[in-house]
Structure formats: C-alpha cells, structure tokens
Amino acid sequence: MSAETVEHQPTRSFFVELAEILLLAVGLYIVITFAIQTVHVIGFSMVPTLNDNDYVLATKADLRFTTPSRGDIVILKDPFDNSQDFVKRVIGLPGERLLIRNGRVFINGRQLQEPYLPTNDPWVSQANWPTDNADPNGAVIPAGHYFVMGDNRNHSSDSRVFGSIAFNQIESRAWFRLLPLNKIGPVWQRPTLLPTTATADRGEAA
C-alpha cells in the first residue's frame, strides 16, 4: 500500500495579513470621512421631527452626484459661525418663487402641504417672507441656492433670517435616526405641492 501524501497549504505571510488590515482601515476611514457622518442634533429647531440630543446618520457622498430635493433634511454650516452646524429642511429649490404668508408656504403660487410641522404650536413667528413686500408674489431663489427652514418654525434661525444658502454650504443629507433607540428609523417625511385649484387664497401680509 502506498503511503499517503499530505499537502500542506503554505502559511499566509504575516505581512500579507497586515496589509489587508491596513487596507480595511484605510477603506473605513475614507467611508467615515467622505461618505457618511453621525450628527448630534443640538437644539429644538427641528422638533417634532428631530429633538435635542438625537443622533442621525447623514450621507455626504451622494451630494457629489445629486442635488438636494424638497423635504430633504440637510446639515449645513451656520452662516454666522462656521464652527457650528445647522440641521434644516430644504423647502425651496433654485429658480423657484417662494412666498410665505400667514404661516403658509407657496412655491410658484402653489401652497406647500407640510405634514411634519408641529400641531400643538401654530406657526406665528416670522410667518411672512419676504418682509419688505417688494413683490406680492414672493422672491425667486437664486441659481444654485436653497431655501431652508427648521420644522419648529417659531424657534428656528433659518433662511427667513440669513437668506437662501449655496449648494456648497450643504455638508450632508440626513436619512436615519440612530438615537434614541425608541425612535430609531428613517427621517424622510416629504411635503407636497397642492394643485393650483386647491391652493387657498394667500390673504394679506400680517
């Protein structure tokens, strides 16, 4: 009977394994630095959608290939202090004519229905924009700019104060709440434009 021959697989080189670990670490660094970020929400300007001390997952990479859509929750630099971040919702898009009257938003003459606004705190503060009444039909958002607001309209510093923001001021787009655990899940409620025939009379500025 012939003796059995046993073939031994060559032991993987320590340096090969080390290189794989380093490549994995570099890949994770690139993803964390350039693709996603975890955002700590500070303040109440996005209540009831997001609350103080919530944590959300936001993506950066997709903004290299797509532009923000209406209803997106975006993270941007505070126009008054670049060391701080703001979390706001995109309301108006480039080239659109936007008007706010008596707490109602109109885009190109059509009323925007916003299901995410708080129901127990009616919008009364800064409920009209533009405030100079230069054009009763509103103001046109410049090319490459976006009009953003917090969902908690009575307690938000946003485009009603600092104007529309440029695309390059937007850092990332929030998709998913991580904490608290009892509210974990997507954060992508969307507004809708009512048909022209269903749009209520805008009334007079307050």
Q: Give me the CATH number covering residue 150.
A: 2.10.109.10
Q: Is 178 within the bounds of a domain?
A: yes
Q: Is 47 within the bounds of a domain?
A: yes
CB 156 within 8 A of CB 86: no
CA 187/CA 189 separation, integer angstroms: 6
Phi, psi dihedrals of residue 8, rounded to the nearest 5°: -100, 130
According to DSSP H, which parts of the chain are helical? Answer: 14-30, 159-162
Catalytic pick from 60, 88, 159, 164? 88
Q: Is 2 within the bounds of a domain?
A: no
Pairing of strands 145-149, 165-166: antiparallel
Q: Is 136 within the bounds of a domain?
A: yes
Q: Is 114 within the bounds of a domain?
A: yes
DSSP string, 142-174: PTTEEEEE-SSGGG--SHHHH--EEGGGEEEEE
**Tally of structural domains, the chain:** 1
Catalytic pick from 2, 13, 45, 156? 45
Provide the residue range defining the domain that includes 82: 37-198
Q: Is 135 within the bounds of a domain?
A: yes
Q: Is 77 within the bounds of a domain?
A: yes
pLDDT in tens, the chain (206 residues): 445 554 555 556 777 777 777 777 665 655 555 678 889 999 999 999 999 999 999 998 888 889 999 999 999 988 888 888 899 999 999 999 999 999 999 999 999 999 999 989 999 999 999 987 667 889 999 999 999 999 999 999 999 999 999 999 999 999 999 999 999 999 989 999 998 755 545 554 33
Task: Specify the residue for token string 């970020």.
Answer: 37
45 belongs to the catalytic site:
yes
Q: Is 31 within the bounds of a domain?
A: no
pTM of the model: 0.80
